[in-house]
Structure 1
Amino acid sequence: MSTREVYFKSIEDKLLLLVHSIKVNGKLNLLDGHLFAEAFFAQFLNILYQYHLQGTNRTKPNYAAIDLVDEMGKIVIQVTSQITRDKIQNTLMKSNLAAIRDYRLQFVLITEDAGRLEKRPYQNPSEIHFSEKTDIIDITRLLADCRDADIAILLKLKNLCDKELGSNEPPRYETSLLVEVVRLVAKMQVSPANGVKIPNSFDIQEKIDFNELRSIQDNTISPLQLYNPELDGIYESFALEGTSPAIIFQKLVSVYQNQ
């Protein structure tokens, strides 16, 4: 599976889980999830479309029918889980939209498919910029745009989804397993590799930057630092038993270079 596919699949799973959660909570009249979704989608759209959205409670308190606004790009957005033509039409009929008729009005619908709403005609008395073909955005549309996005954008979106909606962390290995691995290495009988080279010391961050790995550092390299204290403790315990950690490292180097 390619890196792009891994990132996309993670985003897809989180968005569909969010849709399901809000749908279920809506049936139970639990609306807190919808309020949190507004803040999440503001960040999501800012990354995906390079918008500059903020919640209207920060800029225009109690702004009727509008949840998010991008003053720079002149875009206003309503985030809703009510997937009906009436919901969209009622918003378009709001008299306050006449004051921002030079803005574009978009709807982010928390559902997998809202294609049927793109085929219905709408009255737009305020003449705010709006097209039912392009400005009704459901999760399927968001995922299609994610699929075509630059991989750096995909990584940012994946990280956002992980932070906001929960991360699928790989299971941590038990310390006892690490002990067993090191113990087996210590017992290995290996012949020294020909021309064993002693690596030069280096700055870890410089090495990451030189190999252009910074984009994956947060999700791969950095989490592995958690294991360093455990390994240090294991090596110390071996030293107390009379087995030098240096011997273990030499065997690892010999096996690696022979391979």
Structure 2
Amino acid sequence: MLVEESNIKIANQSLCILADYIGTQSKLNLNDASVCAENFIARLLNIAYGYKLENINLIKQNASVIDLYDKENKISVQVTSSSNLAKSKSCFENFLKYKLYEQYNELYIYILTTKQKSYKIESYIKGNYSFNPKINIIDKTDLLRKFQGLDPLLQKEFLSILNEGLQTNNVQNNQKSSNEVSTLCNVITLLSEKIGTNNLDINCEIDPQRKIPLRFRNKADLIEEQFFNLSLKYQPILDDVLYNSDIDSNMHSKISFYLKDKSSELLFKNDMDAEKSLKELIIFVEKIFNDASLCYDEMAIKFYLIKHLTLCNVFPLTRKELCQI
């Protein structure tokens, strides 16, 4: 493998770890990591973009609009874990409100997690200042593109900062735990954003303990064993996520309806072959993560889906099947 290719893979992995960690902390309403990341991101941006960013809080405590500034190049940056439109729009509007364009020619909004595909903010030009959401709202993907164009010495310096800031000598031990928690958070969030047609009769609920044997027949023992082993590892994590986050009953209900609808669609398509349908459902959820540029833990997703299978939210039984029991 070429050194440059190896550098890009390491940088990508490290930036994904940071994004997953910040995203998980935010979902649990723990925002200290976002604040601590400001100086870290400043150092990375300085190398990737050639800036001389400093933390504005060093000269002005609790600055309300921007976090980083480069006086010489007239660059300003807000660092945030929130990727929603309201947050970015508020930053842009306050930048204009306080006439910061008189001090800085550019405002960048760096999203610590993953930015949206688009932002409904009009491009703006006033004197030397300009703002284009397609250019000025950036995240790890944009940072990685800049990294790819750096010469080997600067890439080495960039990776050194990543290694120091993320303590990647412990990444193999810490990444897995962080990834498991973030996967369970994200799968709940992502699935709750989907809309199912809910064609199934809500009265088709049955005793979960009779579900696996009917759906998987000769493979029931294997599925039950897999679920038991996965539960030993992931159930405590899920319990902690549900207890410490703001996931409400409405989100649970939306997930339930969506999984019933999607899993039934796959089941009918595969002539009631539950084993094949489960594999396709796992692949489908993984694609949701890939489309959103999110890292994920395959086993955490499998656990979550089998758990919903036992709750009758995956491959729910029809009335005809119930009569055959």
TM-score (norm 2): 0.48
Greater relative contact order (Cα < 8 A, sep 6+): 2
Partner SS state of residue 113, structure 2:
coil
Contact 2:123–2:130, Cα closer than 8 Å, also in 1: no
Measured in 2, the distance between the counterparts of 1:85 and 1:98 equals 21
The alignment covers a number of residue pairs equal to 169
Residue 136 of structure 2 corresponds to 135
State how 1:176-191 maps to structure 2 within 5 Å.
Answer: none
Alpha-carbon spacing, 1:61–1:99, altered in 2? closer, same or farther (3 Å): farther
Runs (5+) with no aligned partner, structure 1: 172-259
Runs (5+) with no aligned partner, structure 2: 173-325
Residue 155 of structure 1 corresponds to 156
How far has the Cα of 1:110 moved from its partner?
Answer: 1.4
Would you tell me which structure has more helix in proportion to its own residues? 2
State how 1:10-89 maps to structure 2 within 5 Å.
Answer: 10-89=10-89
Measured in 2, the distance between the counterparts of 1:82 and 1:6 equals 30
Measured in 1, the distance between the counterparts of 2:92 and 2:61 equals 19
Residue 100 of structure 1 corresponds to 102
TM-score (norm 1): 0.60
Measured in 2, the distance between the counterparts of 1:48 and 1:99 equals 23
Task: Give the aligned CA root-mean-square deviation in angstroms.
Answer: 2.4
Contact 1:56–1:67, Cα closer than 8 Å, also in 2: yes
Partner letter of residue 155 of structure 1? Answer: K
Measured in 2, the distance between the counterparts of 1:157 and 1:165 equals 12
Contact 1:81–1:110, Cα closer than 8 Å, also in 2: yes
Partner letter of residue 149 of structure 2? Answer: D
Partner letter of residue 141 of structure 1? Answer: D
Residue 8 of structure 1 corresponds to 8
Contact 1:106–1:137, Cα closer than 8 Å, also in 2: yes
Contact 2:123–2:133, Cα closer than 8 Å, also in 1: no
Residue 114 of structure 1 corresponds to 116
Alpha-carbon spacing, 1:170–1:79, altered in 2? closer, same or farther (3 Å): closer
How far has the Cα of 1:131 moved from its partner?
Answer: 1.4
Partner letter of residue 12 of structure 1? Answer: N
How far has the Cα of 1:87 moved from its partner?
Answer: 1.1
Contact 2:118–2:134, Cα closer than 8 Å, also in 1: no
Measured in 2, the distance between the counterparts of 1:110 and 1:21 equals 10
Measured in 2, the distance between the counterparts of 1:37 and 1:72 equals 23
State how 1:201-240 maps to structure 2 within 5 Å.
Answer: none
Asked which structure has the greater CA Rg, the reply is 1
Partner SS state of residue 23, structure 1:
helix
How far has the Cα of 1:170 moved from its partner?
Answer: 11
Contact 1:68–1:77, Cα closer than 8 Å, also in 2: yes
Partner SS state of residue 133, structure 1:
helix
Question: C-alpha offsets along residues 144-180 of structure 1, whole Å, 9 cap, x if unaligned?
Answer: 2212221111111111101110134899xxxxxxxxx
